[in-house]
Amino acid sequence: MKEKEKMLSGRLYRSSLDALVLERQNARELLHAFNHLPPGDKDRQKELLHALLGTARSKIDVEPPFHCDYGWNIDVGENFYAHANCTILDAAKVTIGDHVILGPDVGIYTAAYPLDPGLRTEGYAYALPIRIGKNVWIGGHVVVLAGVTIGDNAVIRSGSVVSTDIPSNVEAGGNPCQVLRTLTEEDRKSGQWIP
């Protein structure tokens, strides 16, 4: 079994072997072009994002700099916005729903390493998918770890480390991130929530 197949199946793999090195290099070339465009060249930005990402709808806005491992393993929905310094380690599938906002310096990390130091020394890693539902707002400096699902309409407070699943329709925060409260109809009507 090739390293890419192992990676995509959640098994231990070594990213320094097979075509994975070339695929990451291709992503870096596209990211370099994207991250060095003039700020007003929105058409070229979208063109490069569509070439990089697995799926990207028509309304997508990513503020440079943006970083990822492969790009093709990231699917984003309609009306996606990521502020500057977003990093997505996409060794496993990252699925992001419609109408999602990511604050500055958000990290989404599917990659993980074995507890055994010998395996780490030999270059082994593994990756677990991340799913972010629709209408999610993730504040600045949030880290989302491997295997996590964030439900629809959730708000994640700035600075949180999300290491376990977060259900839909909640405000969550902290390190480790946990549910703080269920969002109510009053919250929806006021439109005043700021994480």
Structural domain count, the chain: 1
Percent of the chain topping pLDDT 70: 96
Query: What is the reported pLDDT for 58?
Result: 80
Cα dihedral 37/77/50/14 (nearest 10): 100
Is 148 a member of any domain? yes
pLDDT at residue 195 is higher than 60: no
Exposed/middle/buried for residue 157 (C-beta within 10 Å: 0-12, 13-18, 19+): buried
Is 113 a member of any domain? yes
- Does residue 90 or residue 39 have the better pLDDT? 90
- Residue range(s) defining the domain that contains residue 150: 3-190
Is 94 a member of any domain? yes
Question: Do the beta carbons of residue 128 and residue 146 sit within 8 Å?
Answer: yes
Is 93 a member of any domain? yes
- Does residue 100 or residue 17 have the better pLDDT? 100
Please write the tens of the pLDDT for every residue from 162-171: 999 999 999 9
The CATH number given to whatever domain includes residue 144 is: 2.160.10.10
Is 195 a member of any domain? no
